[in-house]
Structure 1
């Protein structure tokens, strides 16, 4: 896999009836993404893996991709996770998830994957259910409807662009139960497809965090980090957008790398990764889990999986304009970056 990454570095050095597509070309960056994010959060709350909402959300994304002119399908996968009862008795829960995939074909067999998980958190215990974590009413605008919206806008804006390398837009599921969809996706990839996957861009938790980060995988070669992570930061700074990378204050999470999301699956396989997230690596244990300074609005400094916090009403109230602004910023950075990396004509 490292040889593919090195070749990439060398090459670069050389539905619901709810339609956005017609208006996207004339809209400002991020407008379609934020509208899609709001729609997904409102219409499909409780997108727990294997739930009706998750299946409908996946089909909605498939329809959106097809309306843009992409070939798009849904792949199902099976997995399981542990649930703990009040008496600390543990049982396996089996789930069948849905992953929506759209293909933008390039002139060469190499590809770039742009990925965002569509599922929301499923309670792992009676205690979590009692604490209102996850469940059928969790909108998950931060985790992770906004990322799905950004992915859809990137697909819309790239649909008529001729590129040397292919682009795959993938809405995974099962992330909240242990990256089940990403693991299934990697297992289904042939050796040739893995070899030809030049980069995986993973979008996750773009809204609540204090800062916007671009981080590489631990195994991503330095040459590719410069062409992906460092280039993303340069684009951000040229546009006056505040963005940074993990400062590496916790030795378990090296500088410029990320963790704990679907991208890890591909990083472990030696496929180069670029993670896009909003959090605050300077706070708490400095591991990226505390998204912002603790406050009355976010008592733990995060909105993770909390029905009362990760919803549109709360975020619009305490962080007015944040959803639109972050969607705009991420699109403004990633669109030119992806065109560069895919070698758009």
Structure 2
């Protein structure tokens, strides 16, 4: 159970967060080097909002923090609550539905036209869904979720901060999803609430997930994304990466849309960004890196002892900063180009 003392500590951190994260509110203050905002946000979210499981107090406090960040940047941002559930399996094999109320964050800024580009990342951490999960310390209150997925949220926040002063032709929407770790319910809820017109007006969804642990960055298009859109997005991202000497690949397969399959099923154009290694194991991307003493399972997913700041800083020194920098260096110019400068700018 979420302790009252932990909640007080988190709320205190939240009240102080405006001091450490307000570096770019004034236009006269130059932004830090590319990637610095993202890495600071990754560390902040992982430190002060561990165990942000869908429906938990930590998730709600984290959602409120993200909502505040977007509002400070001048976006119209709101919390979006929704009811969902997941199956919990006991050691005896008995299955019970667990009902939860999850909260996503939706921020938007209108462009000159209603057509929009969506930047998305889930911020919730893994909820133990069986006694076996609990016995193996998967998920739970201590999981910082640095890789999965403070990393994607941190990059999203930097992109939002860098885009906030740039008038664009197309509208922008930044979406921090919850309940991704309970059967991708957050993406389902988001799609189900979109009108037919909103779907039609969505030019692209850029989704970011697990950017730190994996061997290299992958830029993958959705299975239902057209060749024309893929050329303007995935191929362009790879071109930018290679021009900067950033190792990046593409893997078109059935695992391009894990966690956001509802968006692909709705035929929304997708660019999914992650770090893994599709050449290993079953070529499904689940094994993020070679099995070593530091990474006995070849990944850090859901594991509190590995997906933490302390462990990743020790096992992969400098990786958080480097991946933040590399990802922003690719996605910021791509997003800026795709959103197009406003005609009056």
TM-score normalized with structure 2 length: 0.92
Give, in angstroms, the shift of residue 18 of structure 1. 1.1
Q: Separation in 2 of the partners of 1:223 and 1:21? A: 39
Contact in 1 for aligned 2:257/2:264 (Cα 8 Å): no
Give, in angstroms, the shift of residue 26 of structure 1. 2.7
Give, in angstroms, the shift of residue 259 of structure 1. 3.1
Give, in angstroms, the shift of residue 177 of structure 1. 0.4
RMSD of aligned residue pairs (Cα, Å): 1.2
Give every structure 1 segment of 4 or more consecutive aligned residues whose post-TM-superposition deviation is greater than 4 Å: none
Give, in angstroms, the shift of residue 70 of structure 1. 1.3
Contact in 1 for aligned 2:121/2:156 (Cα 8 Å): yes
Unaligned stretches of 5+ in structure 1? 1-14
Answer yes or no: is 1:217 the counterpart of 2:222: yes
Q: Separation in 1 of the partners of 2:142 and 2:287? A: 23
Q: Separation in 2 of the partners of 1:16 and 1:283? A: 44
Answer yes or no: is 1:269 the counterpart of 2:274: no
Aligned to 1:16: 15
Q: Separation in 2 of the partners of 1:284 and 1:278? A: 15
2:101 to 96, 108, 111: 96
Report SS of the residue matched to 1:176.
Answer: helix
Report SS of the residue matched to 1:22.
Answer: coil
Answer yes or no: is 1:41 the counterpart of 2:46: yes
Q: Separation in 1 of the partners of 2:225 and 2:17? A: 38
Provide Cα deviations, 1:59-109, integer angstroms capped at 9, x if missing partner: 000001111111111000111110001111000011111111111211001
Matches within 5 A, 1:35-74: 35-74=40-79
Contact in 2 for aligned 1:16/1:60 (Cα 8 Å): no
Q: Separation in 2 of the partners of 1:25 and 1:230? A: 31
Report SS of the residue matched to 1:192.
Answer: helix
Q: Separation in 2 of the partners of 1:87 and 1:44? A: 33
Give, in angstroms, the shift of residue 146 of structure 1. 1.1
Contact in 2 for aligned 1:141/1:311 (Cα 8 Å): yes
TM-score normalized with structure 1 length: 0.92
Give, in angstroms, the shift of residue 261 of structure 1. 2.0
Tell me the matched-pair count.
323
1:130 to 135, 155, 161: 135
Answer yes or no: is 1:173 the counterpart of 2:178: yes
2:330 to 308, 330, 333: 333
